[in-house]
Amino acid sequence: MGVNYEVKLMQRTGKSGFTLVELAVVLIIIGIIVTGIVSGKELIRNSKLTAVVTSMQNYLIATNTFREQYDGLPGDIDNATTLWTGVADGNADDQISTYNTEGLEAWKQLAESFNIKGNYTGTTADGDNISLGIDVPLGSFDTTGYWMAYEATASGYAYEDGNYIKYSSPNPAGGTGDLLEASLTPEDARTIDLKMDDGVSSTGLVFSVNGVTAQAAAAASQCFVNIGGVDNYRLTNTLKSCQVWLIVK
C-alpha cells in the first residue's frame, strides 16, 4: 500500500532522482572538462615559454651577427649616424650602457640593419617610461618585454660581467636607473633555463635575478634560494619573482 502511494506520488509530481550511474556519468564529464581546461592552460603556458626561449636565442644570434657586420655591438657603435637616419651613436666601449640609453638604441639598430623584424624608437625623451612593442620587443606573457644592457658583478646585479639580453617587465611607476621588475615564476624561469642552459639560476649562459632588482631581494621577491652554495629555483614560490638574463659572449 505504501509502495503504491509513493509510485503514484512520483507520477503526479513528475519528479525522479538521479541514479548512481547517472551521477557517475555527470562526475566523469565534469572531470573531463576540468582536465581539458587545466591541460589547455598548461599548453598555453608551455607555448609562451617556448616563445621566450626562441626569441632570446634569435636576439642573441642577431646581436652576434650585427657585431660581425659592424665591428661593434648594437647601440654601442660610434658610427651609427653614418649608417642610418634617426639613430644615435654610442661610445664604442663594447658595453651596451643601461637599458634606457644604448639599450634602446640596440633594438632600433638591430631592426634598421634587418637583423630583427620590427620598428623601434631608439632613444626616447623619457627613457624610463618604456613602451612594450614600441621601444623594446614585446614578450609573450602579459606586460613583459626584452631588454639589453651591460652589467658587472661589482654592481650587485650580474653573476658574470657582460652584456645581457633580459626578459622582464618594466617598472610601472617609471622610476630611474635600471629598475626592471620580475616577470616569471621560479618554475617558469627554471623551465626556460633548462631549455637553454643548465637549469641552475647562477651558472652557465642563462641567469635569473631576484625580484625587482638583484640588489633588493626582499622577502616577497625571491626567485631562488641558496642551498650548499648553489642557487636553486625556489619552486615553492608561485609568485612572479624572476627576471631571466642571457649573456652575450
Q: Taking residues 208-220, report their average pLDDT.
A: 57
- Arithmetic mean of pLDDT, 80-84: 96
Say what the alpha-carbon torsion angle 169, 170, 171, 173 is, to the nearest 10 degrees.
Answer: -130
In this prediction, residue 173 carries a pLDDT of 55
239 neighbors 220 (Cβ within 8 angstroms)? yes
Please measure the distance between the N-terminal and C-terminal CA atoms of the chain and give it in whole angstroms.
91
pLDDT, one tens digit per residue, over 25-81 is 777 888 777 777 766 788 889 999 999 999 999 999 999 999 999 999 999 999 999
pLDDT band at 212 (very low <50, low <70, confident <90, very high): low
What is the pLDDT averaged over residues 152-179? 75
**pLDDT for the residue 179:** 65
Left (φ > 0), alpha (ψ -120 to 50) or beta: where does 89 sit? beta
Q: What integer best gives the mean pLDDT of the chain?
A: 83
Kindly state the average pLDDT of the residues 188-197. Answer: 95
Joined grid coordinates for residue 86:
634617426
pLDDT in tens, 95-146: 998 888 899 999 999 999 999 999 999 876 555 678 899 999 999 998 899 9
